[in-house]
A = this chain, B = another copy of it.
Amino acid sequence: MAVTIPSIPKGTRDFLPEEMARRNYIFDTIREVYSLYGFMQIETPAMENLSTLMGKYGEEGDKLLFKILNSGDFLSKVPQDELSAASSGKLLRKISEKGLRYDLTVPFARFVVQYRDKLKFPFRRYQIQPVWRADRPQKGRYREFFQCDADMVGSDSLLCEVDFVNILDEVFSRLGIRVDIRINNRKILAGMAEAVGAEDKITDMTTAIDKLDKIGLENVNAELEEKGFSKESIAKLQPILALSGDNTEKMDGLRQVLSASETGTKGLEEMRTLFGLLKNTPLVNNLTLDLTLARGLNYYTGTILEVRALDVQIGSIAGGGRYDNLTGVFGMPGLSGVGISFGADRIYDVLNQLDLYPSDAQSKVRIIFLNLGEKEAAVSMGYLQQLRKAGIACEIYPDAAKFKKQMSYCNDRNVPFVGIVGESELAENVVSVKNMATGEQQKLGIGQITDLLSV
């Protein structure tokens, strides 16, 4: 066999033990909080039928799907004239029937419809799995990355939103990341568009005002004008964009603005109810009504949520919203729900930048025994088994290598303690335990070591 120089496809990643421990810390935190709120984990296969995936993410999305070649002699069913036509698009349909999942939402919609008779609604599910996109790889954008979604489907109740706001708050509190949770409502945005007489231009309006923070009011107005908003519309929008104060003050200000719009009034009412309900479950982080927030506008129909880190400039690190037709495309219309998603890769970067990982997210091994010879190692193996029975992760250097080499391995592994069993320790039935932080060394019986490391 020829020697291959090893590498992985661009845009994909290997996770070494230290990175993996840190990622598990994030996933475990999210998983624990989801579970506390009654969400149940599901998994779907990496491959979905292309008929499930195609047409769900727009034309661009179709191109970004990774397609799987049919197995076996994949050309056998392709007529010669179609082959000669050399059209990738037409040939594709003949040689590929499966693709890798592009997100967790479409597979979840497919799942809900497929098992509609088995699931109990309202259904709370979470799902943490990789997705694949044939995007051009760049810094922070990968072709394989994990999504961490939770959705609650089959209920219109704003209590669902309360749970999700609390989950966002709780996860970031646990991770030690200070955040601003921003909230808006698609119906309020619709009301705003109505109020300024631009009902049909809601997308243009939200796209423009979404940039308020970045480009400033003057440029937003210029963009609106460019998109065909009348001077009158733009003038009417100014007091809305100028609304300030706390959430209650903003809602009070909105009341009159939206009074003529039924949808807008409904949205405002939902927002008031939600803020009222949230008084029962105090948050650690700020929840801010942000009228410029328009995330996923074409998909969301009610509440919109987005989370930003306060101490790192990195964009949104979590988000979500309410939708009212998750499964229509699979023949089950009118299923309403709310969902959120955590951006694990960005959260990983934030934790790294702020150095917020707990020390035990790295090495779980508490003690490594050196190997000073056959007899010593044999006795050590018995000690190790006792430690493990007490739930203490430990190991022995497998070879009776030079002392220095073994100690260097222990240093690299970053363990708090090293156990040494030599001739004298054998005779005394003890282990010399070296504290790697202080350099102190003491002789202890295995029971004492168990106590020491169980702390």
Interface secondary structure of A, over-half rule = mixed
What band does the interface of chain A fall in when counting residues whose beta carbon is under 8 Å from B? 35 or more
The answer to the question of A385 belonging to the interface, with a C-beta cut-off of 8 Å to chain B, is yes
Chain A residues 4-49 with CB under 8 Å of chain B are 4-9, 12-17, 20-21, 24, 35-38, 40-49
Check A63–B71 contact: CB distance below 8 A: yes
Chain B residues with CB under 8 Å of A40's CB are 17, 20-21, 363
Number of copies: 2
A425 in the interface (beta carbon within 8 A): no
- Please determine whether A41 and B20 come into contact, CB atoms closer than 8 angstroms: yes
**Residues on the B chain within 8 Å of A217, using CB:** none
A132 at the interface (CB under 8 A from B): yes
Contact assessment for B14 and A331 in the assembled complex, using a CB-CB cutoff below 8 Å: no
Contacts of A119-139 to chain B: CB distance below 8 A = 119-120, 122, 124-125, 130, 132, 134
Asked whether A157 lies within 8 Å of B83 as measured between CB atoms, the reply is no
Looking at the assembled complex, report how far the CB atom of A10 sits from the nearest CB atom of chain B, in whole angstroms.
10
Asked whether any CB of chain B lies closer than 8 Å to the CB of A69, the reply is yes
For A60-102 the 0/1 string (1 means CB < 8 A from B) is: 0001101111011111101010011011100110011110100
- A44 touching B1 by the CB < 8 A rule? no
A329 with B4: CB separation less than 8 A: yes
Cβ of A17 to closest chain B Cβ, rounded Å: 4
A8 touches which of B3, B48, B64, B276 (Cβ 8 Å): B48
Decide if B9 touches A388 in the complex (CB within 8 Å).
no
* A120-B399 CB under 8 A given contacts A55-B1, A72-B63, A113-B6: no
Residue of B nearest to A379 (CB): B280
Decide: B55 and A75 in contact? CB cutoff 8 A. Answer: no
- Complex Cα spacing A14 to B163, Å: 26
Nearest residue, chain B, Cβ from A377: B159
Q: Is A396 in contact with chain B by the CB < 8 A criterion? A: yes
Q: Which B residues are CB-close (under 8 A) to A78?
A: 86
Bound CA–CA A8/B74 (angstroms):
20
Q: Taking the complex as formed, is A353 at the interface, i.e. its CB lies under 8 A from any CB of chain B?
A: no
Given A4-B52, A132-B46: A91 in contact with B75 (beta carbons within 8 A): yes
Give Cα A276–Cα B382 distance, bound, in whole angstroms.
12
A245 to B214, CA, bound (A): 81
Q: What 1/0 mask marks residues of chain A from 328 to 348 whose CB sits below 8 Å from any chain B CB?
A: 011100000000000000000
A sample of 22 cross-chain residue pairs with beta-carbon separation below 8 angstroms, ordered by A number, consists of A3-B331, A4-B51, A4-B330, A6-B330, A7-B49, A8-B45, A8-B110, A12-B46, A13-B45, A17-B41, A36-B391, A38-B368, A46-B130, A46-B144, A47-B143, A63-B72, A66-B68, A68-B68, A71-B134, A75-B87, A75-B88, A157-B371
A residues sitting closer than 8 Å to B (CB atoms) are 1, 3-9, 12-17, 20-21, 24, 35-38, 40-49, 51-52, 55, 63-64, 66-69, 71-76, 78, 80, 83-84, 86-88, 91-92, 95-98, 100, 110-111, 113-115, 118-120, 122, 124-125, 130, 132, 134, 143-144, 152, 155-157, 159-160, 162-163, 166, 170, 276-277, 280-282, 329-331, 363-365, 368, 371, 377-379, 381-382, 384-385, 388, 391-399, 409, 412-413
